[in-house]
Amino acid sequence: MQMEVLHVSPELATEWLTRNTTNRPLSKAAVQQLAGRIQRGEWQLTHQGIAFDEDGVLIDGQHRLAAIVKAGTTVPLTVTHGVPRTAFTVMDTGRKRTGRDALALAGEANATHLAAALRGLHLYLSAPNAAWSGGSSVTSNDQLLSLLEKHPGVRDALHHGLALNRGCRITTTAATIGWYVTAEARPDIDQTPWLDGVVTGANLEAGDPRLTLRNTMLSLAAGRTHRRRDDSREHLLYYLKSWNAWLEGRSMKLLRRSPNETMPRISQHLAHAQANTDA
């Protein structure tokens, strides 16, 4: 076998794709994800590239080449010629490195929950009202690491998210995002009463938004409704609606999502407790 590093242009990639005669079906979602990484400048040269067999047939790397074409950008690639055709059956059979793996390798604690929270935060910030599933919701490992660098407070928010999950079964992802974005938007608010109320429900009267959120989450967890118990986007919507009502001193006896309801914006009203004190 012969290996070399080449700068592969969209034109060369297009030419090489014509040799793709015995490969697996092309995944449009995978191509889109790779093209996005190229366009964001995340592409890095590694030992993984493309490969041709003894007859010059492309047997590995069709998604990388298609992504170069889609991105319209030249990138460096490791190109291997003369790979035995029999090796095709063992290619791409290893486990891909996940966001959790990338964060753990970077020394982050609670990497599984942190990866999920960062992915959810990315979706909340970029497309809060779009679906949080499917190919368009995939977040690269580089995006997660970059997001953590820009939003280091997510680490602290995760500790509160875990406590909220244990207290009322809201997903850790939704609780972490909810805590982080409200704390960032309203650093003037002491969230301790919010946390204590949702986690314990102690001494709360009917209509208190904290109790309503707690009961709604526990009902979902118990399977008493047809709604998904692990839908972090829906849980975050409930979190923010309840938090806004709590902040404004409004009663909320029922928590539900209307069809096509958009993600609530964080209230900028003066907290009712502070307003009463200032008065």
Residue 218 lies in a domain: yes
**Pairwise CA distance, residues 127 & 257, whole Å:** 18
CA distance to 99, 117, 151, 175, 214, per residue, from 148 (Å): 12, 10, 5, 17, 29
Based on the fold, state whether residues 246 and 169 are members of the same structural domain. Answer: yes
Domain limit, last residue, from 90, 118, 137: 90
In a domain, 269, yes or no: yes
Q: Confirm whether 111 is domain-assigned.
A: no
- Exposed/middle/buried for residue 227 (C-beta within 10 Å: 0-12, 13-18, 19+): middle
| pLDDT score for 133 | 72
Q: Of the residues 90, 105, 138, which one is the last residue of a structural domain?
A: 90
Computed over every residue of the chain, the mean pLDDT equals 88
Read off φ and ψ for residue 135, nearest 5 degrees. -60, -35
Same domain (yes/no): 165, 270: yes
Q: What pLDDT score does 27 carry?
A: 82
Do 170 and 206 touch, CB atoms closer than 8 A? no
Domain boundary residue among 43, 72, 90?
90
Decide if 97 is inside a domain: no
User: Are 86 and 180 found together in one domain?
Assistant: no
* Per-residue model confidence as pLDDT tens digits over 25-70: 788 888 998 999 899 998 989 888 999 999 899 988 899 999 999 9
Instruction: Specify the number of domains making up the chain.
Output: 2
- Where residue 39 falls (left for φ over 0; alpha for ψ -120 to 50; beta otherwise) is alpha
Instruction: For residue 242, tell me if it sits in a domain.
Output: yes
User: Could you tell me if 157 and 272 lie in one domain?
Assistant: yes
pLDDT (mean) for 213-230: 80
- For residue 116, is it within any domain? no
Give domain status of residue 52, yes or no: yes
Q: What is the pLDDT of residues 63-105, one digit of tens each?
A: 999 999 999 999 999 999 999 877 766 666 555 778 998 898 8
Model confidence, pTM: 0.71
**Where residue 41 sits, what CATH number does that domain have?**
3.90.1530
Show the domain range for 242.
Answer: 152-278
Query: In terms of domains, do 162 and 264 share one?
Result: yes
- Pair 250, 172 in one domain: yes
Rounded Cα distance between 257 and 234, Å, is 8
Task: Say which range, 75-79, 136-140, 146-150, 200-204, has the weakest mean pLDDT.
Answer: 136-140
40 located within any domain: yes
